[in-house]
Every structure is written in structure tokens, then in C-alpha cells.
Structure 1
Amino acid sequence: MKHLEIEYKTLLTKDEFKRLDLLFSHVPQVTQTNYYFDTADFQLKKHRLSLRIRTFSQSAELTLKIPQDVGNLEFNAELSLEKAKELIRTGHFPINTVTQPILDAGIDLSKLNLLGNLTTIRRESQIDIGLIALDSNRYAQIKDYELELEVNDASKGEADFQAFLKKYNINYKFAKSKLARFASTLPKN
């Protein structure tokens, strides 16, 4: 499956997170873990590609993100939890619609390695302005909080996101992607 993901996000303070967590307390929490992959010399990053396996309690998905002028083009494939664990363990990725753009970039799939993981506890809900996600993330001894809004229309979505932040007295704080925040904790070569 392929789709364009347009989202707006902000980091949250612990206090801001707690206030929003109360607001969305009726939404069940879901735990998901992202396992990130790249080559030893970061060929995916050099080609502006990001590859992850996201696991849930009963299922998983393989995702490749490619930045666009607006948003990210996402390629997704559903995986069984067993298949996801095997891919995480072995790093042997099949050729499919998710991995084909990696091959097209001239990157050898057999060179992909697991970089590590990030675990998110998420409350996700469709509200009138889009799909909102309230995240508590853990990676490399770090805990951070984030709010994301996924929308269909970039300009309306940005205005709606800013209005939501204002309504709930949230100060906007630039949020790099989860992968970028995780990658910043990796040892520098």
C-alpha cells in the first residue's frame, strides 16, 4: 500500500502531555515499537529514505518513507508478528513494493542492519481536524512526548494544528522525526 502522509507535530513538555492525556483518556493506549534499519554507511539516510518495522501486540508492518515537497510518500506492507521478528533478527528483507525503491536507489538489501528501536505508547483518535496521536516515546535512556496531527490538506491542516495548540495552550516546539531523534543517540563514527 502506498499513500502520502501529511502530518504536523510538536514536542510536548511533561505537563502538556499530561493535560492532553487527560483530554484523550477515553482513547485506549496502544504500545508500538519501531525497529529502524540502514546500512553501516547510512546509504538509506544519504538517499533520504527511512525503513522501519513497527510491531504491535498482535501484528506488524514494514514501512519505507520517502520525503516529498509536502509530506512523506509511505510504502507499507502488513506483516505477521512472527515474520516481523524474523526480519528484525535476520535483516533478510524480501523484494516487494516496500523494498523496491531501496533497490531502485542502488542499495543492496543484504547490507541493511538493525540500528535499534524506539517504543511508543500512543493514544490515536480521529477528530474533526484529522487523525491525532498523543505519544510517549522511549529510546536510548530518553523519554519524550509528542503530538502529531495527520491531515489530507496541508495548508488547512497546518492552520487547524496551530489552532488546536492555541486552544489547549500548547507551545509549539519543533519535533524532528522519531527516526531522527533516535538516530541522534547513535555513536558517531
Structure 2
Amino acid sequence: MSEQVEIEFKNMITLSEYKKLLQLFHAKEEDFFYQSNSYFDTPDWQLKLKHAGLRIRLLPEYAELTLKTPFENDLLETTDSFTLEEGKKMIQQGKIKSSGFVYTKLISLGINPDELRLLGNLATTRYEHKTKEGLFVLDHSVYCNQEDYELEFETAHHEEGKKIFQQFLIDQAIPTRPSKHKIARMIEANHQL
């Protein structure tokens, strides 16, 4: 289990901006990795109402169950790790394990984990570029017959990180385009089908 504050800034980008940033960061094909995200909520949207999100992420070698909850200006991530087989089984059954720190945290939020249902899936090809200021992330996501591109910046300090990210957008001539969380984009696209 891990619990950490996630301080990140996001901006939607176009395909041409995405390609430009990959060149800027000198991205090579072997630097990309694939992840599959499966999102959960209750039928009456208890997580959404608490501005929280729950996902199972399948990575190349293991799976993560992550609950994101509001924490000051940022998010608190509570994560349990599982084998790939366990992660796939939870997705297939549409249920999370009835143990672990995420399960316990859901109970503490007044959410019955047995009421959770699978909302949908989103696949992301990710590239990460580490700098002394923080981590730049480029995501190409595919979901519900749609695809999009997103720039994220993860940092250790909120105010300083915000300034660095805003200056980076200005330096790269990228307009500010607010980015909804991936779960929100997937849910909206699902409702349009």
C-alpha cells in the first residue's frame, strides 16, 4: 500500500502539439509504455459526488487499485498493488477485493465497496520526461471510439509547480485547455454512445 499526495497540472493538447513535445523531449519508441485503466463507481455515483475516483490500472508487470480523494488543492492517492491476474479478475468480475487499504478507505468514506460497478475502460500510451523541476507526462488515450492527447506535469510543490507548468505552456505556444480527469472524459464519451 502506498498513500501519497498527487500534485499535478494538466492540459489537453492537439496531435501536432503532442508530436512537437515528443521531439522536444527526444522521445524514443522504447521509452513509451502502455497502461489500461478500468474505472468504478456506485450506481448512484457516490465517488463522483465526493470528487473521488477509483481505478484498476493494468501495467506490464502488475496491477494497481487506486482511490483518488480530494486533499487541499490536490489529490490523495491510496493504492494497493496486485498481480496482473488478480487485477484482471477484479475487472472481469466488476468488483474489488474485500480487503486492503483502498477497501478500508472506501468504508471510511461511507461507501459500500460491494455496490461498486465497472463504468468502463480507457487505454493510455504514456511517455515520461523527468526534469529537475518535476515529471512531464505525455498521454495518448483511447476510449469509447475516441482518442485524445494530454500533457501532465507532476511536481512536489503546488505553487511553484503551477508557475513552471504555465510558463512551459507559454514557452511552447500551447493554449491553456483545461483537462478533465480521465474518468470524467471516459464517462462523458460513454454517455454519447
TM category, shorter: over 0.9
Q: In structure 2, which of residues 114, 117, 123 is the aligned counterpart of residue 113 of structure 1?
A: 117
Look up the equivalent residue of 1:107 and give its one-letter code. Answer: I
Q: In structure 2, which of residues 170, 173, 179 is the aligned counterpart of residue 175 of structure 1?
A: 179
**Runs of 4+ with deviation above 4 angstroms:** none
Distance in 2 (alpha carbons) for counterparts of 1:68 and 1:183: 23
Structure 1, 39-48 or 107-116: larger mean CA deviation: 39-48
**Which residue in the other structure is 2:76 paired with?**
73
Distance in 1 (alpha carbons) for counterparts of 2:19 and 2:129: 17
- Find the residue that maps to 1:137 and give its secondary structure: strand
What is the CA-CA distance between 1:96 and the residue it aligns to?
Answer: 1.5
Pick the structure with more helix per residue: 2
Structure 2 residues without counterparts, runs of 5 or longer: none
**Which residue in the other structure is 1:42 paired with?**
45
- Find the residue that maps to 2:22 and give its secondary structure: helix
Look up the equivalent residue of 1:172 and give its one-letter code. Answer: T
**In the superposition, relative to structure 1, how do residues 57 and 16 fare at CA in structure 2: closer, same or farther (>3 Å)?**
same
Look up the equivalent residue of 1:32 and give its one-letter code. Answer: Q
- Find the residue that maps to 2:86 and give its secondary structure: helix
**Which residue in the other structure is 2:141 paired with?**
137
Structure 1 residues without counterparts, runs of 5 or longer: none
TM-score by length of 1: 0.94
Distance in 1 (alpha carbons) for counterparts of 2:104 and 2:31: 35
**Percent identity among equivalent residues?**
37
TM-score by length of 2: 0.92
- Find the residue that maps to 2:92 and give its secondary structure: helix
Over the aligned positions, Cα root-mean-square deviation in angstroms equals: 1.4
Look up the equivalent residue of 2:163 and give its one-letter code. Answer: A
Q: In structure 2, which of residues 63, 66, 69 is the aligned counterpart of residue 63 of structure 1?
A: 66
1:14-29 superposed matches below 5 A: 14-24=15-25, 25-26=27-28, 28-29=31-32
Look up the equivalent residue of 2:5 and give its one-letter code. Answer: L
